[in-house]
Structure 1
């Protein structure tokens, strides 16, 4: 047990304890809020960073959950202060919430550094809020605990169980084929999202909260609890109580987010059937902690980690509610504990091994035994080749196996509107072997790296009964998506990556077992095309967007800002003047 911090050593004491004019001002303003000195003197001040918004449906319950956290903080003898944070919702933000993940990370770091906080509870869940909050808190370095929003209830319409995103894509193709009536379409819209909480498939939201859980920065198993379950309320209060204890113990992120913890998170991600977005976010989170996680590291873990969570879209039958009832993430981690470093410290003050004691699986079809996995290798594979020298990502378990070895002619689109118009042309010159390509959709080209990578199947093929084809993009894909989609092509076409040189009719070859993606064009021809290539105009000329374009790294490096990574320079120290 580490030494307990004394009251005079609290970070907030630097604001409130001295007998000087500046501290007089701080204390008087606390009294303006109705607090007496007994409320904040010698007590840990806990920031509750809340990403609630009326346009963030995933976090609709967070106003109430913040009260649960505050109750726990008060019970443990701390002072809770709720602070609104940027709410980067996935559903409404254009062009993409990914454009603002780094803004949330910057805001989180600076809010913590500039205010009298001894510890923070980070309230997130919708896709980019988990990495954004965690990246900022790692950089800030004070005790923190992550409170995941939890999945929504499973969807339902006309006796059919619906999964977020996955069934939207599925039934949209059927509607385009003329198989869904207006009345059915309205019913599906009303049934697919039935409560507060994040997508109830193993999409990006549940992937990232599972990663946070496996990294040891949530309470054990917190990521699996449905948003509207009473256990979620109790977990919120537990977070409030525990963060106060963490402050006294001085249990800071550098003691938790270690190289071994990041590896644990990557292994668990693979075993859950994670979103392809996990690659970008986990690399960014790791690098904030000074850990050089690479695409090659992720691919190596993917080759040796079986996918055992039978949850859509990589699994076939179940949703996150079922996963929770089957034992949740603790049960899955218990099943693969021989692949994890159980000595890693967690926010509980105990090791991961201690946290997993007593965990059990209650449904072997939802959380499969290692002898009967959903897929023998992990969720993701990393490709290299002359189309993606710095890497690209595919989700093998979520696509038709016939595409694992494939050659076909490229059909190239330079913009999403161009592609969207073409796929609805019933006379489009396309075959099942065609490789659809969308470029200018990466971090700079999108701008912001939008989720355009699951290109719709052309109507001409849908009417022939086809529901999958090989698709390539420098964009991302929603974690709820499925199909033979190759994503995150790096370097992106907008900065002159090889994808910019591909032309209609060029033969593209995918060799998934060999982890290769190539265009069958000789080097001399590629050199001629490269010499003739003209850089496109930048997407922004001012403001945050301009800063984003100047400093965002490529997909294989996590898309963080270069000036926020640990090798750029030392972080600012605590200000001497308050």
Structure 2
């Protein structure tokens, strides 16, 4: 893609606030000067907002305030004026009822923070799962020059000589507790080994996936995704990002120039190659909606279907993000895609170079971490999108994290009406369930919970685990953590709370999944399904106010990104007249 930089110098947007000697200009400048800013910072140099999701209640991002100082250094070096702006930070590990419920709120807050304030460009400082898509969505809706810098993953966890992957080890060990293979004391001891440095998940969970998606989309500098949070090269990347955003403002290089269909296709294929999180599906669909691209679940299935998963990281493989970085990181993966004809080489990036120019010289330093294609974890990675009478608008599954013997399966449904029903019954020894059954969880979609929690990877019943069984087919309208694994069918659409067919599944019904054929089928007649749907009534009360009601009333389905219906499209950077 060709890009023609704008002429420079030119009058910048921030000069509407700071440039001149009117009463309003003096009002804006004088208040800023109470922080000790010299007068020449307001002379027409680019004002760069450092939008920071730092928060001590967002552990993945708790080091971003320090990292922002390096961004400031870079902005000053390039002749810009940096201003750090705290923005809404939705922590995956602490927000209730679900961090996903607040992604759209964060995106709204970011959009208005950019549009309503004197910024010419912005650096998006992100890390934890929802902070990356929310800031990208907000920035795309304003379309001022923007660039991502992530906080980076934690160092490897180690417990008794074994790697401990954040999230992934938690799911494994909790199942071992139920199966009697691990003591509670050992579990508590292992807890201290799980998170031993600042940073986000060290597995290919959603945080690492979305960092990779930002880089694959061209919205971050090459190599950004995998650098560990505590590595000095992370700070260098932050400083270089600060320098780069100033030039982007001068060139008027905006998200709309970068977030093209070619960029999204690159990201979808990259997600297949890295064994990325199913959550990326929802976030990229929502981001595409902000830039007016018609991206669909069918695109995800078509583009990712023949992409081999070559990154040998948990939860699909055995290594962690630290090894991925040492092996060469995402540039190696993108180079492999380019060599296989699976990369849109001419896609523009925030560096001003094309996707291929950035990665053509990348070197793989460890072929057990980034595998040759012939040794791929699976030759058909990507995200599988299944459809059928149980999921007319689609459901997603991550083949690289599933058990091959369960990719074709027919079994009796054991139904849980909601997550509370599941928790109340799953440990009951009298529960009529075995490993051939299909576990079904309802009312955990975008509207149903509300907020679509990461509960789709339901833990197995203890009596099944004690047999040595580690996987069963599970189906829900929920999400699952990118650190999780298993033969788990997610995001079933329409969701149960909207009266989708999932709502009328009963215990004892037969369900069939066929991943190669992309089919999920409820073995009940059309007439019976129609009759059940006629008798169906929503099981959950409608929220009676506040943000929960706004979310319930306006959230779209998972199959289109679960954004709010009134936030689709780009609204630009124009703002109303000064009121002072």
* Alignment partner, residue 344 of structure 2: 341
Which residue does the alignment assign to 1:232?
234
Per-residue deviation, 1:140: 0.8
Q: 332-341 or 118-127: which moved more?
A: 332-341
Task: Report the alpha carbon displacement of residue 240 of structure 1 after superposing the two structures with TM.
Answer: 0.7
Deviations along 1:398-425, whole A, 9 cap, x unmatched?
A: 1211111111111101121211121111
1:516 aligns with one of 514, 519, 522: 519
Aligned pairs, number: 575
Report deviation, 1:329. Answer: 0.2
TM-superposed CA distance for 1:544, in Å, is: 0.9
Question: What does residue 448 of structure 2 align with?
Answer: 445
CA displacement at 1:496 relative to structure 2: 0.3
Distance 1:372 1:97 in 2: 36
Counterparts in 2 of 1:548 and 1:98: CA distance versus 1, 3 Å: same
Partner of 2:96: 94
What is aligned with 1:103? 105
Q: Which residue of 1 aligns with 2:368?
A: 365
Q: Which residue of 2 aligns with 1:574?
A: 575
Residue aligning to 2:114: 112
Q: Could you tell me how far 1:392 is from its partner in structure 2? A: 0.2
1:304 corresponding residue in structure 2: 306
Match of 2:136 among 116, 134, 137: 134
Give the C-alpha shift of residue 442 in structure 1. 0.3
Q: 1:176 aligns with which of 164, 178, 186?
A: 178
Alignment partner, residue 266 of structure 2:
264
Query: Residue 69 of structure 2 aligns to a residue in which SS?
Result: helix
Segment drifting more, 348-357 vs 491-500: 348-357
More displaced, 412-421 or 141-150?
A: 412-421
Determine whether 1:147 maps to 2:149: yes
SS at match of 1:30: helix
Q: In angstroms, what is the RMSD of aligned CA positions? A: 1.3
Distance 1:237 1:425, change over 3 A: same
State the TM-score, normalized to the length of structure 1.
0.97
Quick one: distance in 2 between partners of 1:374 and 1:57? Answer: 31
Note if 1:424 corresponds to 2:445. no
Give the SS at the match of 2:83. strand
2:76 corresponds to: 74
Deviation at 1:176, TM superposition (A): 1.4
Task: List alignment gaps of at least 5 residues for structure 2.
Answer: none
What are the equivalent positions in structure 2 for 1:537-576 lying under 5 Å apart?
537-566=540-569, 573-576=574-577
TM-score by length of 2: 0.97
1:358-388 deviation per Cα after TM superposition (whole angstroms, max 9, x unaligned): 2111111111122221101123200000000
Secondary structure at the counterpart of residue 237 of structure 2: helix
Ranges in structure 1 where 5+ consecutive residues have no aligned partner: none
The 2-side partners of 1:563 and 1:4 are apart by 32
TM-superposition CA deviations, 1:516-544 (whole Å, max 9, x none): 10110001111211111112344421011
Q: Within 5 Å, give how 1:375-386 maps onto structure 2.
A: 375-386=378-389
Aligned-partner SS, 2:559: helix
1:17 Cα deviation from its structure 2 partner: 1.1
Match of 1:292 in 2: 294
Equivalent-residue separation in structure 2 for 1:193 and 1:362 (angstroms) = 26
Indicate yes or no: 2:28 matched with 1:21.
no
Name the CA distance, whole Å, in 2 between partners of 1:573 and 1:256. Answer: 20
Q: Distance in 1 between matches of 2:393 and 2:86?
A: 38
Which SS does the other structure have where 1:389 is aligned? strand
User: Given the superposition, is the C-alpha separation of residues 298 and 3 from structure 1 closer, same or farther in structure 2, using an over 3 Å criterion?
Assistant: closer
Q: Answer yes or no: is the 8 Å Cα contact 1:99–1:449 preserved in 2.
A: yes
Give the one of 409, 414, 417 matched to 1:406.
Answer: 409
Query: After the TM superposition, which of the residue ranges 213-222 and 170-179 deviates more from structure 2?
Result: 170-179
Shift of 1:576: 3.2
Does 1:481 pair with 2:459? no
Q: Deviations over 1:529-568 (max 9, x none)?
A: 11111123444210111111111000000000111112xx
